């Protein structure tokens, strides 16, 4: 089956993955409970070390149950952070991916609108604070 | 009392504010339950329209109780978005301000660490997705 | 009539808008003297508060005549700022929208080239000043 | 006379500049009608090719009279673009430098406030358009 | 021959270029040893001064042999910097262009993966250092 | 000994570190051959999972010899990428840290100037390619 061109590198096909890459592909599908390997991971797999570093970081932070870690934030808050960062950076793949994840968690468009409005608000105030070089009022308590 | 230099404009002093600026300064203190006007608003006050636009947006989105609006997100989540955006943009004033706000809400440093780790993670994946020009897997359901 | 997929949310159709959203849609068309509601506003309308905050800010700052405000900058300069910000952020929708607006105002491609060259120049010097962590020479006079 | 540390490289002192660097330092002072060489150029001078490339670009675009070029934009608009880019990028040196330049041209704090408010507005809408992945409405006419 | 729409301006066609633009187009093809003028330069050519400034800067820094300059960095390292900057900024055209250039130089996908992994890593640590407002440990030696 | 305030969190002191944090602190000093723990790691240590994720990623990618990995890039090229990303993002801590590292490797200020000039050049062309929404000429070969 032909595949649409999708990146600056040829995505590693699941059927061709072997060794550590195949193991990580299996882990991604099981941990995320999906039946395919998303484009992102297939691109990263062109360098197995890269795949390992990024998956290991994401698994630890976004799937704490899979590593037996007690998280401080719930899954919805974690995805909201992901979307806030992605919208601020203007990353197309990431915005699509994290919006899909939030909708799967039951977030409706009106709630998404509140998230986005707040993202927009602070992109505005960030450029103003930087544009005026405003000094902090009070520093946060360190402990 | 002399005041440390704090911006590219002379901050409007509370004692000198009149008219609409004085009203907004009072509203800021009352809405935020603080007894001083933060540097940010004193800088924006050099142009009253600017002060009005930014304060009105922030009050509506971050202080929904003050405008009789039913929010979709709780105050902690709203501040987490603010910090995620500010860390991504590297805005010094904003990082200090929103970290202070989160700590006031009882967020401890370990929870802050989980927020920041997730912010860092997605700044990493954003640059990778953009750096490989990865195409979306599936688009989010629109409704 | 079917519509091409255009965002991570289903755009609110003009024919389906009611209440405050319908009023704002009408205001957008009248204020901007256009006969359709641009995609941006139809996406924001998925959360009426978001639509209101963004439209109210943009109307006040970019259409001062509609709110009886005396602006300090002329319409062309305002759109040039919008394009400079959008090119710096790499926002595709925004670059298209503000370039269209400038061309409607009679800005030709050679003038656009001078705008863009200056945008490029300062993106270069910004990364150099940050990359060397250069300290300010003299601070601007505050008054 | 000792000098405060001001960058990650030792700034080239005017008294020590020779050859092409000395010529460019003289040209900077004459073209900008100032009696000192700003930190930026003294840092770039650690690599004469770098100094030449950046100064030559900036002189051509920001001092058209010095190269006998007919500009499309007036000096104030050019500096406004510089400030809009610098505030968006959060470049401290650049914000200070371009705000100083605008004030020298007679721009007062209220006008500066209108510039900054518009910069803030479009940083907000940029993150929203990217955060929703909104498609262009109409492409700008190319000619 | 019709041409796909490719920018917010009509690209200057090689067959229509005259004077300085034609000379620069010829120089681009000869210096880069290619038989067509890339879209980027055809867009910049809508303003000949812009074309001259950008080409002159790029030729000096990226094609030192063409200007008789002794470079400090080899061609591969120079393109790696270009890709690192482009991935960080999320510039689609630039990521495609510099990835193509690296592959022409013989960089394989596994090496590209190491480059990208390091780009991703430092986008992560950058947001963390900014997000915690961490002070420098030791400043670099200036000389 | 008192310590200057250095972040939005109280840095974890080496003498107070226990368990996994103490182990990682020791590993950082040994791997990097330094006799103190840099501020960055002491800030991240406020959340041990965060410390582990970031250190593990950085150790794997930047200290391949410590994990028995055969790198594709040499240490200087890896640090150049780090500096290019940090200058582009304007991260103060990171610019200082990676400039120091490059100087330790023997990179002089003139070579640093060539690195920075190229970083500046591509921040310029990135904003131009995005600002004109230029389409790729040819896509890179995928294999």
pLDDT tens-digit series, residues A21-79: 999 999 999 999 999 999 999 999 999 999 999 999 999 999 999 999 999 999 999 99
pLDDT of residue E83: 98
- Please give the angle made by the CA atoms of A118, C41 and F129, to the nearest 5 degrees: 80
Give B70→chain E minimum CA distance, Å. Answer: 30
Residue C101: per-residue pLDDT: 97
pLDDT recorded at residue D3: 54
| pLDDT on residue B2 | 46
Mean pLDDT to the nearest integer, B98-120: 97
- What average pLDDT does range E124-141 have in this prediction? 94
C-beta of residue F6 within 8 angstroms of C-beta of residue E134: yes
**Measured between CB atoms, does E100 come within 8 Å of chain B?**
no
Check CB contact under 8 Å for A139 and B40. no
Show the tokens assigned to C17.
Answer: 């808008």
What three-state secondary structure class fits C38? coil
| Average pLDDT value for residue range F68-84 | 98
Residues from chain F contacting residue B99 (CB–CB below 8 Å): 8
Task: Kindly determine whether residue F118 and residue E91, on different chains, have CB atoms separated by under 8 Å.
Answer: no
Interface test with chain D among F87, F110, F125, F134, by most D beta carbons within 10 Å: F110
Q: Give the pLDDT mean for D18-40.
A: 97
Residue F139, pLDDT score: 82
**Burial category of E103 from C-beta neighbours within 10 Å (exposed 0-12, middle 13-18, buried 19 and up):** buried
Looking at the whole model, is its pTM more than 0.95?
yes
Question: Smallest Cβ distance to E9: which of C109, C117, C120?
Answer: C109
- Find chain F residues with C-beta within 8 A of B120's C-beta: 50, 54
Nearest chain B residue to F42 by CA distance is: B113
Give dist(CA E41, CA E31) in Å, integer: 13
pLDDT per position in chain C (143 positions), as tens? 345 567 999 999 999 999 999 999 999 999 999 999 999 999 999 999 999 999 999 999 999 999 999 999 999 999 999 999 999 999 999 999 999 999 999 999 999 999 999 999 999 999 999 999 999 997 888 77
pLDDT above 70: percentage of residues in chain E: 96
pLDDT of E21 strictly over 60: yes
- Residue E136 pLDDT more than 60? yes
C65 in reach of chain E (CB within 8 A): no
What angle is formed at CA F34 by the lines to CA F28 and CA F38, rounded to 5 degrees?
65
Percentage with pLDDT > 90 across chain F: 92
Residue F68 structure tokens: 């028995």
Partners of B90 on chain E (C-beta within 8 Å) are 126-127, 130
Domains of chain F, first to last: 1-70 (1.20.1290.10), 73-136 (1.20.1290.10)
Report which of F40, E128, F92, F94 is spatially closest to residue B116, judged by C-alpha positions: E128
From the list A50, A85, A90, which residue is nearest E90 (CB)?
A: A90
> Which of F8, F10, F50 lies nearest to residue B117, judging by beta carbons?
F50
Report the pLDDT averaged over residues E64-69: 97
Question: Where does the pLDDT of residue F140 fall: very low under 50, low under 70, confident under 90, or very high at 90 and above?
Answer: confident
Q: Which residues of A touch F140 (CB under 8 A)?
A: 8
Q: Which other chains touch chain E, taking contact as 3+ CB pairs less than 8 Å apart?
A: A, B, C, D, F
**Chain D: closest CA distance from residue A4 (Å):** 20
What residues of F are in contact with residue C92 (Cβ under 8 Å)?
130, 133
Q: Output C105 or F4, whichever has higher pLDDT.
A: C105
Question: What is the band of A4 on the pLDDT scale with cuts at 50, 70, 90?
Answer: low
**Is E116 within 8 Å of chain B by CB?**
yes
Q: For all residues of chain E together, what is the average pLDDT? A: 95
Say whether pLDDT at F4 is over 70: no
Cα–Cα distance for residue pair D45/F102, rounded to 1 Å: 19
Task: Write out chain B residues lying below 8 Å of D113, CB-based.
Answer: 9, 44, 46-47, 49-50
Whether chain C has a CB inside 8 Å of the CB on B57: the answer is yes
Token pair 């008294």 is found at: D15
**Cβ density class D3-34: b for 16+ within 10 Å, e for less:** eeebbbbbbbebeebeeebeebbeebbebbee
Share of chain B above pLDDT 70, in %: 97
pLDDT of D85 over the 60 cut:
yes
- What is the pLDDT at residue B140? 86
> What pLDDT does D1 receive?
39
pLDDT in tens, A93-125: 999 999 999 999 999 999 999 999 999 999 999
Supply the DSSP symbol for F106. T
For position F3, what pLDDT does the model report? 54
d(CA E27, CA E38): 12
């Amino acid at each position: 089956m032909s595949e649409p061109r999708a990146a600056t590198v040829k995505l590693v096909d699941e059927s061709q993955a072997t060794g550590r890459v195949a193991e990580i592909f299996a882990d991604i599908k099981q941990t995320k409970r999906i039946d395919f390997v998303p484009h992102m991971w297939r691109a990263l797999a062109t360098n197995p070390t890269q795949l390992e570093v990024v998956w290991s970081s994401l698994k630890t932070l976004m799937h704490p149950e899979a590593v037996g870690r007690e998280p401080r934030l719930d899954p919805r808050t974690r995805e909201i952070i992901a979307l806030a960062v992605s919208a601020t950076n203007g990353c197309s793949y990431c915005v699509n991916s994290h919006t899909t994840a939030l909708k799967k968690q039951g977030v409706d468009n009106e709630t998404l609108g509140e998230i986005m409005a707040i993202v927009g608000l602070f992109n505005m105030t960030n450029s103003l604070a930087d544009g005026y070089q405003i000094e902090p009022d009070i520093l946060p308590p360190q402990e």
